[in-house]
């Protein structure tokens, strides 16, 4: 079953300290993000003259703001990510797939990108409605993130158009996809388990059955550009934190287990890729089952603290 939510402090003094930490953090990030949106808007004057220049500006400001999202919790709150599994090279174009339990997952993946000098290269599959929100939504529009409605018939063309632009400009890329399609909750997990039984599949206990079409389209659509798929399993020790708890410094430690698969080692057919992804989530389910029992993921050739 999904891990329960991380409890917040009950003592009034601890709650006050959390607010004194969280409010300035949120204000700082919001104000700087609005400034970055302004720079991104001004950068559009470069498009008729240099698409590369436009992308360079937006990569730089994304790198600056997302780095801030790492440095504040890391150095002021002591947040850590325990990393196990396969080594990841720096500056490699890759597709990342991960289980999704909280918006905090997103900020923690930035820790990993920061350690590999690819923060400004991150792009996310994002719900289309997010593009209309000032701040992160507007910023992702300028970064050419693929926006989706979670309906493949309506998403297919827009995703392919985004990929075509990224390939045309040879954009450095960490493309991040939460292939379960949504954040996990007990209700959503139960629905996924019911679907699995209807399809004659063994239900999963800790993750949901992944949606495969976007994954297949990403591997095939970015062929020749991405070098590997990073399959990341995210585990929390004492409960799943929400984003406000993250900003307050209540949350301290997360665990990542990484499996890196070179693109040339992936199946070549659509059916093969779909089955590979489903099998990877079955392995993810097994890893989380063991993690919730022992508190650690298996050691690999790359182990450390981010």
Kindly give the confidence (pLDDT) of every residue in the chain, 306 residues in length, as a single tens digit, with 9 standing for 90 and above.
556 888 888 888 988 888 999 899 999 999 999 999 999 999 999 999 999 999 999 999 999 999 999 999 898 889 999 999 999 999 899 999 999 999 899 999 999 999 999 999 999 998 888 989 889 899 999 999 989 887 777 788 888 888 899 999 999 999 999 999 888 888 999 999 899 899 888 999 999 999 999 899 999 999 989 999 999 999 998 889 998 998 888 888 999 999 999 999 999 999 999 999 999 999 999 999 999 988 889 887 778 888
Structure-block tokens of residue 276? 């590979």
Residue 62 lies in a domain: yes
**Is residue 5 in a domain?**
no
3 domain-assigned: no
User: Has residue 47 been placed in a domain?
Assistant: yes
- What DSSP state is assigned to residue 240? B
Residue 206 is assigned to a structural domain of this protein: yes
- Which H/E stretch holds residue 177? strand 174-177
Residue 2: the pLDDT is 55
pTM: 0.91
- Give Cα separations from 196 to 79, 205, 233, 285 (angstroms): 36, 11, 21, 14
> For residue 172, what is the domain's CATH number?
3.40.1130
Please give the order of strands across the beta sheet that includes 80-85.
122-124, 174-177, 94-98, 228-236, 253-262, 80-85, 304-305
- 4, part of any domain: no
Give me the number of domains the chain comprises.
1
Residue-range definition of the domain harbouring residue 75: 12-305
| Residue 194 in domain | yes
């Amino acid at each position: 079953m999904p891990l329960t939510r991380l409890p917040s402090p009950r003592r009034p003094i601890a709650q006050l300290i959390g607010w004194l930490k969280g409010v300035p953090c949120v204000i700082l990030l919001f104000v700087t993000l609005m400034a970055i949106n302004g720079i991104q808007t001004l950068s559009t004057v470069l498009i008729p003259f240099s698409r590369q220049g436009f992308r360079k500006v937006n990569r730089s400001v994304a790198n600056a703001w997302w780095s801030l999202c790492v440095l504040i919790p890391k150095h002021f709150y002591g947040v850590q990510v325990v990393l196990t599994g396969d080594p990841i090279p720096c500056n490699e174009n890759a597709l990342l797939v991960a289980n999704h339990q909280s918006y905090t997952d997103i900020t923690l993946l930035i820790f990993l990108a920061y350690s590999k000098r690819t923060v400004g290269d991150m792009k996310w599959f994002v719900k289309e409605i997010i593009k209309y929100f000032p701040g992160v939504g507007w910023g992702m529009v300028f970064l050419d993130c693929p926006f989706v409605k979670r309906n493949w018939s309506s998403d297919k063309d827009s995703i392919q158009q985004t990929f075509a632009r990224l390939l045309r400009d040879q954009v450095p890329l960490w493309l991040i996809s939460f292939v379960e399609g949504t954040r996990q909750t007990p209700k959503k997990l139960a629905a996924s388990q019911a679907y699995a039984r209807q399809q004659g599949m063994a239900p999963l206990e800790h993750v949901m059955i992944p949606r495969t079409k976007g994954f297949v389209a990403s591997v095939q659509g970015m062929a020749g550009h991405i070098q590997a798929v990073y399959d990341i399993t995210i585990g929390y020790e004492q409960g799943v934190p929400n984003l406000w708890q993250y900003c307050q410094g209540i949350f301290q430690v997360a665990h990542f287990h990484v499996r890196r698969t070179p693109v040339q080692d992936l199946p070549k057919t659509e059916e093969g890729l779909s089955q590979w992804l489903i099998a990877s989530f079955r392995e993810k389910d097994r890893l989380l089952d063991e993690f919730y029992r022992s508190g650690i993921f298996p050691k690999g050739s790359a182990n450390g603290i981010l």
